[in-house]
Every structure is written in C-alpha cells, then in structure tokens.
Amino acid sequence: VTAAVSPRASTLVGKIRHGDRALATLSAAAVVVILAMLAIIVLDVVRGGARTISWEFVSSPPRDGMTAGGVFPAIFGTVAMTLLMTVAAVPAGVATAIYLTEYASMQSPVARLVRVCVANLAGVPSIVFGLFGLGFFISTVGRGIDRFAYGGQSVYGKPCLLWSSLTLAILTLPVVVVATEEAIRSVPREQREASLALGATRLQTIFRVILPEALGGILTGTILAVSRGAGEVAPILFTGVAYYLPQLPTNLNDPFMSLGYHVYVLATQSPDVEKTKPLLYGTALVLLVLTFLLNLIAIWIRSRSRRRARAGV
C-alpha cells in the first residue's frame, strides 16, 4: 500500500511546491521591478545632473535665454511658495484632525462629511486645482480686493505667489490631516484621561498632552505636504508661476519661478534641446534631491515614532 501511494503523493507534493514557489517568485519579481523603476529614474537623473550641479548652478540666475547659468531664482521661488503654503496648510490641517479626533463623535454627520471631503480633496486632479485657483483666488478674491482696496488697479487680481501658495495649501491639506489624525489616534487614552482627571480642560489636554505626543506625526505630515507642494506644477501654471523673471519675488503679489515649472519649460519649449539638456538634468536633480530628502526624513520620523508607540515609550 505504501509503495502504491507514496509516488503519487510525492508527485502531488512536488506539483504543489512548484506552484507555491512560482507565486512567491512572481510576486517577489514584481517588487524587484518596482524597485528597479525607482532606481532607474533616480540613477538617470543623478547621473545626468551630477555634471551640471555646481555652486554656481544653484546660486546664479539663468543666462543667454535659458541656455546657460543657474536656477537660483527657481529654488528661491519654490522655497518661498512652499513656506507660504505650509503656513496656511498646517494649522488648518491640524485643526481639522483635532476636530475629527477630539471633538466630533464617530456618528456625527458633519464629521463624516468632513472625512469624505478630505478623502475626495486628495483625489481632485491637480490641474483642477489650477482652474480653481484662477477662477476663485484670482478672478474672484483678488479682483474683489482690488476693487475695494485699490480702486480697480490690478494688484491682487493677477497670478502671484500668494494665490499659488494658497492653491497648493488646499491641495496638500489632506496630507496634513491624514498624518496628524493617525498620530493623534495613537496617543494612549490613559494619557488623555489622566490629564482630564487632574482637572485640565479639554483644550489644555489637547495642547499640552496630545499635540506634544503627536508632534512626530504632525511633522511627518508637514514634510510630506512640503515635498508634494514643491514638486507640483499643474496647480501653479495659471496662478502665479513665471517662465523667466529678472528679479526675485519680494511681495506676496509678485510672480515667481519654480523648479518644477522650470523643468517643464526646458523640457517642452526649449529652442535648442541638446544645449539645454544639461540644465534640464541639473534642475530635475535639484528638485528630486529636495523632494527625496524631505520624503526620507518623513519616513524616518514616522517609523521612529511608530516604533516608539509600539514599545509604549
């Protein structure tokens, strides 16, 4: 009996093992391909841009009709835009997360609506944000300000740094909300109860106990939002970015240059592609390094604070 059964059983097991290993191998291969995609794009930009990058490149303005010189104004504009965006998006995002976690009950219809809107805001195409910025901030709010405060003179009713930053702030709001909410939820309930039992009010508990604990998550959300905002081009196309400016923006209502838009313009509208290719690679590398560093920092902070939360420290 054993002699008759065992060969069949062994072939069965053999076949199963084969299928088993095939799925493991295939799925591992998918991971490898995705990581290779990441590696290829990063290595290509790094290799192409490394020769261009120099102190002069990051510290001087473009020259000779964008075929020589550096990208300093674009770096400056990107930083100014993301700073303004952060000032608007982070307080709003943190407040939304506090409302969702500390004030609203799970069944509250308003809270559910807020949640749905945050989730859907994250899915709105970035070009639609650009249309919205033009239609709302510039044509409506900006023109309105001009009419009431400047007698119809075009001061704020035009594309500029302020409107681009606010448009991006709305675009990045969900990033801040989601990260902050996760962080606040991971604060143990005992800490909340201990604070309240000691006589602290709800607001004191939020500001002195919960937010300090959730700081890692808020920071992660902020950095991810900055990284996202710094790389976006579509929302700022019509709301403030400019192709070339001889001067740096000094006011909220000045137009500005940005790294992402610079890459787009050099890639699509260059009169001499071969001549601008080194500049193009250099600009792309600066942008990639900026966004990547921010992402890596965010991932590091998050994994550290998650590990600490798991260890119960």
Q: Show Cβ contacts of residue 31 under 8 Å, excluding neighbours closer than 6 positions.
A: none
Distance CA 128, CA 191 (A): 42
Distance CA 283, CA 138 (A): 29
| Shortest spacing between CB 262 and another protein, in angstroms | 9
Nearer to another protein, 107 or 250 (CB): 107
Nearer to another protein, 80 or 265 (CB): 265
Among 9, 87, 128, 194, binds another protein (CB under 8 A): 128
Of 195-254, binders to another protein (CB under 8 A) are: 201-203, 224, 227, 230-234, 237-238
Nearer to another protein, 160 or 230 (CB): 230
Query: What does the block give as tokens for 311?
Result: 């260890």
Interface segment toward another protein; rule CB under 8 A; list 69-77, 123-131, 189-197, 213-221: 123-131
Query: What does the block give as tokens for 201?
Result: 């009010």
Distance CA 266, CA 249 (A): 21
Nearer to another protein, 162 or 177 (CB): 177
Interface segment toward another protein; rule CB under 8 A; list 20-28, 186-194, 214-222, 247-255: 20-28
* Coil/strand/helix, residue 124: coil
CA angle centred on 163, ends 245 and 296, rounded to 5°: 85
CA angle centred on 133, ends 93 and 84, rounded to 5°: 50
Among 6, 9, 10, 38, binds another protein (CB under 8 A): 38
Nearer to another protein, 70 or 231 (CB): 231
Query: What does the block give as tokens for 39?
Result: 């590696």
Query: What does the block give as tokens for 18?
Result: 């084969």
Interface segment toward another protein; rule CB under 8 A; list 52-60, 64-72, 212-220, 277-285: 277-285
Distance CA 82, CA 89 (A): 10
Nearer to another protein, 49 or 250 (CB): 49
Contact between 175 and another protein by CB under 8 A: the answer reads no
* Coil/strand/helix, residue 283: helix
| Shortest spacing between CB 194 and another protein, in angstroms | 20
Of 61-120, binders to another protein (CB under 8 A) are: 91-92, 95-96, 98-100, 103-104, 110, 113-114, 116-120
